[in-house]
Structure 1
Amino acid sequence: MTQTLLRIDASARHENSTTRALADRVAAKLQPSKTLTRDLSKETIPQLDAGWLHAAFTADESRTEEQRARLALSEELIDEVRAADTLLISTPIYNFAAPASLKAWMDMVARAGITFRYTETGPEGLLTGKRAILVIASGGTEVDSAIDFATPWLRHMLGFIGITDVQVVRSDLQSLDADASQARAEQDLARVA
C-alpha cells in the first residue's frame, strides 16, 4: 500500500479526460494513506527566466529575500516529491510531447544540488527510493514509438532526479482504434500493484 501519493494531472481537459479517469482508477488501486495533488491545468507553473536561474544558482546563504521568493514554488514542489512514496503523473501527448505545463513543473523540480548532483561519473539523482506511475493517453501517437517525445522524456527526467522505478499505463492511438486503446489500458492497469 502506498503511504503518500503525489498526483500530478497535466491534461487541459477535465470532462472526458482519459488520463484523469485512468489516474482515478490507479489511485483507487493504490489506496494511499495521503494524497497530494497538483492540477497543472488549474494553476500556472511559471517558465524559467533569467531571474529564477540567477536565484537558483546563487548559494543559499547569499540569496536575497526576493530570490528566496522566486524559488518558493520550486521548494514547495520539491517538498511534495520528497514527501511522496509514489508519483502518479497523468498526461496526454500533445503534438508528440508532454504539455508545456508538465515541462514547467519538471523544470521547477530538477535542481542541481537539490534533486540531482553532478559527480565525476555523471549526474546522480537524489530522490531515490520512490516509484512513479505514468498514465499517458494519445489520439494518434503510439507510446514509446519514434514520434513519442513525452514518455521517454518523462522516464529520463524521473531517472535523472533518482526515480528509476517507472511503470506506464497507456491509452494510446485512441483516434485509430478506441477499443484496442482501451484494451491496452486495461492490461496495464491490471499490472499496477
Structure 2
Amino acid sequence: MRRARNSGMRGVTLIEAMISLTLLLIGILGLMRLQVIGFTSNEGARSNGTAQELARELAAGLERLDPSLDALLVANTIADAPPSGFGNPLDASGNLATSGWRDWDDAYLTGTTSAYPSLKVVGVQPDSALPSDPLDPSKPLYRRRWSIWQVATSNAASGVRLAAVSVVYHERTITRPRAITLYVQIPNLGASTVNASAYR
C-alpha cells in the first residue's frame, strides 16, 4: 500500500531560491546606495559648517580693524544701492570673481603684507592650518575673501560700511565650487559723529 504524500514537506525549488536571492541582492544594493548618499551628505554638511565658522572668524577680525585702513576702503563705487553682484564671490561661469574682492593672505596676521602694511588681523586661522583643495593641492580648501560697500551719505566718509565676507570651497564629490557669504557692518564711529553733527 502506497503512503499518501504529505504536502507540508514540500521543498524549495531552484527558481524560488534564485528569486529570493535576487530580491535580497536588490535590497542590499539599495542600502549600500543610501549609505553612500549619507556619507556624501555628512561630508557636505561638515564642509559647510567649517566654511561658516571661517567666515565668522574673518568677519570678527575685520570688525575690530580701524575703518580707515586701506583693506577696508571701498573697491566699488559709493552708492545708495549695492553694486551689481555684491556678495557673490563667483562669476557666471563659476570661477572666483575678481572685481571688488580682496583675497585673504596669511601675511595679514602679522601685518607684513606689501599691499596693506598696516593691516593686522587677529583671531583668524592661517591658510596653512586648513586642508588643501583636492582639485588644486597648492591652495587651501577654503578660500576666504571680502568685499566692501559704502553707503552714500552727505559726508564723504560713511558712518557704516557693509562687508560681504565669503568662503569658497569644494566638496570632494562636486567639481563646481560652493560658497557661503556672511554680511557684517563695520562702523566708523568718527564719521558717524560728523554725520550726526551735520544734521543738528
Higher Rg: 2
Alignment TM-score, normalising by the size of structure 2: 0.20
Higher strand share: 1
TM-score by length of 1: 0.21
